[in-house]
Amino acid sequence: MSNPIYSLQVDLPCSGIDRSYPIIIGHGVLSDSERFAALLGDSPVVLVSNDTVAPLYMSRVRDALGQGRKVTEVILPDGEDQKHLMSADQIWQKALEYHHERRSVFIALGGGVIGDLTGYSAACFLRGVDFIQLPTTLLAQVDSSVGGKTGVNHPLGKNMIGAFHQPRAVLIDLDSLQTLPDREFAAGIAEIIKYGCIWDPDFYHWLLEHSDALLTRNNEVLAEAIQRSCAIKADVVAQDEREGGLRAILNFGHTFAHAIEHVMGYGVWLHGEAVACGMVMAAQISATRGHVSEEMVIGLKRFLETFGLPVEPPSTMSAEVFLDAMAGDKKVVRGKIRYVLLEKLGDACLVDNVTIDEIAQTLAK
Ligand code: NAD
Ligand code: GLY
């Protein structure tokens, strides 16, 4: 088994069976046949990917899974617009045709779309089979592959159909980032800086100090940024797996982001791009309320801009348009829109009293 650079654990409350799982971060992880053998035993596998990632990485995973194992491959078209029930049905169809059983393990090879879709398919297949995440985008490595939120989009809303279903393991191969387009890479950076903002001011400052190294995808710095992000997410998820409270802070910037994605049309702005802009808006409101300094907001903007991330919302979106779009979000609780603001750098709070004037003021900045 290859030595990972980092190995951490998502500790979950144990109700009869231990559902804790490892996150492995290193090079050559997708080709590590010994690790797959240790995780899978002789279980059959349903290996799901898309037509962008499969030509790049499917063969090394297939080889690592070993000759003697039943492996059924499902390759879906690329795109957020494929994250719907019919794609899940394609996975179920193939798994049934090839007589997969409860001990079969689904494996997601790709970004957040494939991870969410495969996880959801696994949660429902035969009332639930295990799955493993092999995230290949930076965003999936630091966010979507960890924590067990799985699901698909519905015509009436993004991620509206889903299940909490924790993976058996998350295996992060740093090598896969070499082929990731710059825009997708930057989208992942936005989620990384989110963790600094809401949880760890030292990490936030460390990221600012290492922005040049991150920009050039320096392996060592990137590995540490991924590890620290995963550790924060694991910590939050361990304390509040089903988003009864604390976990909602992971949605910092997301209330505004989902409105931008919804109004602009999914895929026009990448999720991480919308999150970057949404974080600036939330930080600005926090600054106006006196919780963080204006300098913090300026620093955040500068950092995000270094990566080519947008920090201004679309000029067509007024405060009314934002409110209208946010009203349909999952983050509405008892009719009130819930926002994540900063109490101070590294400390987030949930509020439902952001006014239309505060949003308008932020847009005018
Ligand atoms: P994605 O899965 O669409 O991947 C982005 C693009 O990169 C795609 O074209 C993909 O084919 C391509 N790609 C993936 N890996 C590559 C590689 N190594 N080299 C080259 N190209 C590669 O998008 P994403 O940003 O990874 O994930 C976004 C999705 O994740 C959304 O559907 C969002 O709702 C979901 N999400 C889920 C959670 C969660 O907690 N479950 C959290 C955040 C986001
Ligand atoms: N991405 C937010 C969460 O996992 O809760």
Region 191-214: what's the mean pLDDT?
98
Model pLDDT for residues 61-99, shown as the tens digit of each residue:
999 999 999 999 999 999 999 999 999 999 999 999 999
117 CA → ligand 1 middle, Å: 11
Q: Pick the catalytic residue: 191, 241, 261, 358?
A: 191
Q: What's CA 16's distance to the chain center, in Å?
A: 28
Q: Answer yes or no: is the C-beta of 134 below 6 A from any ligand 2 atom.
A: no
Quick one: tokens of 143? 């966010």
Tell me: pLDDT of 276 over 90.
yes
Specify the DSSP class assigned to residue 127.
G
**Ligand 1 site: residues with CB under 6 angstroms?**
50, 52-53, 56, 78, 80, 83, 110-114, 116, 136-137, 139-140, 143-144, 147, 149, 159, 176, 179-180, 184, 187, 271
Q: Answer yes or no: is the C-beta of 250 below 6 A from any ligand 2 atom.
A: yes
Examine residue 151 and state whether it is found in any structural domain, yes or no: yes
- The atom of ligand 2 lying closest to the CA of 250 is 2
Model pLDDT for residues 224-275, shown as the tens digit of each residue:
999 999 999 999 999 999 999 999 999 999 999 999 998 998 789 999 999 9
Tell me: pLDDT of 15 over 80.
no
53 CA → ligand 2 middle, Å: 23
The span from the CA of 174 to the CA of 210, in Å, is 18
Specify the DSSP class assigned to residue 179.
G
- The atom of ligand 2 lying closest to the CA of 146 is 4
Quick one: 72 and 215 in the same domain?
no
Residue where a domain terminates, one of 152, 179, 206: 179
User: Among this protein's residues, is 127 annotated catalytic?
Assistant: yes
Which CATH number characterizes residue 218's domain? 1.20.1090.10
More confidently predicted of 29 and 155: 29
Quick one: 174 and 210 in the same domain?
no
Percentage of the chain with pLDDT > 70?
99
User: Among this protein's residues, is 271 annotated catalytic?
Assistant: yes
Quick one: 160 and 200 in the same domain?
no
Model pLDDT for residues 136-172, shown as the tens digit of each residue:
999 999 999 999 999 999 988 889 999 999 999 999 9
Examine residue 144 and state whether it is found in any structural domain, yes or no: yes
Residue where a domain terminates, one of 179, 211, 241: 179
DSSP per position, 65-100? H-TTS-EEEEEEPPSGGG-SHHHHHHHHHHHHHTT-
Q: Pick the catalytic residue: 158, 254, 301, 331?
A: 254
Model pLDDT for residues 283-293, shown as the tens digit of each residue:
999 999 999 99
The span from the CA of 270 to the CA of 258, in Å, is 11
Q: Among 85, 229, 71, which residue's Cα sits nearest to residue 144?
A: 229
- The atom of ligand 2 lying closest to the CA of 243 is 5
The span from the CA of 157 to the CA of 329, in Å, is 8
Residue 181 pLDDT: 98
Helical residues (DSSP H) of the chain, grouped into ranges: 33-40, 59-65, 85-97, 112-124, 138-139, 182-199, 201-209, 211-215, 219-239, 254-264, 271-288, 294-306, 319-326, 356-364
User: Among this protein's residues, is 168 annotated catalytic?
Assistant: no
Residue whose CB lies within 8 A of the most ligand 2 atoms, among 12, 138, 143, for a mutation test: 143
Which CATH number characterizes residue 16's domain? 3.40.50.1970
Quick one: tokens of 308? 């080519």
Residue 199 pLDDT: 98
Examine residue 161 and state whether it is found in any structural domain, yes or no: yes
Among the ranges given (99-113, 139-153, 189-203, 314-328), the one the predictor scored with the smallest mean pLDDT = 314-328
Longest dimension (CA), the chain: 64
Q: Which amino acid is at 215?
A: L
Q: For the beta carbon of residue 158, count every other beta carbon within 10 angstroms.
A: 18
Specify the DSSP class assigned to residue 4.
P
The span from the CA of 216 to the CA of 222, in Å, is 10
CA distances from 162 to 4, 152, 165 (A): 31, 6, 9
Q: Whose C-alpha lies nearest to ligand 2, atom 3?
A: 250
Residue 50 pLDDT: 98
331 pLDDT band (50/70/90 cuts)? low
Tell me: pLDDT of 37 over 90.
yes
User: Among this protein's residues, is 247 annotated catalytic?
Assistant: yes
Beta strands 45-50; 71-76: pairing state: parallel
Examine residue 188 and state whether it is found in any structural domain, yes or no: no
Distant-in-sequence, close-in-space partners of 190: CB < 8 Å, separation ≥ 6: 253, 272, 273, 275, 276, 279, 304, 307, 309
Quick one: 51 and 166 in the same domain?
yes
Tell me: pLDDT of 330 over 80.
no
Residue 278 pLDDT: 98
1 CA → ligand 1 middle, Å: 27
The span from the CA of 64 to the CA of 169, in Å, is 16
Examine residue 154 and state whether it is found in any structural domain, yes or no: yes
Long-range contacts of range 17-21, CB-CB < 8 Å, 24 or more positions apart?
A: 19/166, 21/166, 21/167, 21/168, 21/169, 21/170
Examine residue 264 and state whether it is found in any structural domain, yes or no: yes
Tell me: pLDDT of 120 over 90.
yes
Counting ligands in written order, which one lies closest to the CA of residue 159?
A: 1
189 pLDDT band (50/70/90 cuts)? very high
Among the ranges given (116-120, 192-196, 361-365), the one the predictor scored with the smallest mean pLDDT = 361-365
Tell me: pLDDT of 332 over 80.
no
Q: What is the pTM of this model?
A: 0.96
User: Among this protein's residues, is 258 annotated catalytic?
Assistant: yes
Examine residue 77 and state whether it is found in any structural domain, yes or no: yes
The torsion angles phi and psi of 224, rounded to 5 degrees, stand at: -70, -40
42: containing domain: 6-179
Residue 365 pLDDT: 81
Percentage of the chain with pLDDT > 90?
91
Examine residue 120 and state whether it is found in any structural domain, yes or no: yes
The rounded mean pLDDT for the chain is: 95
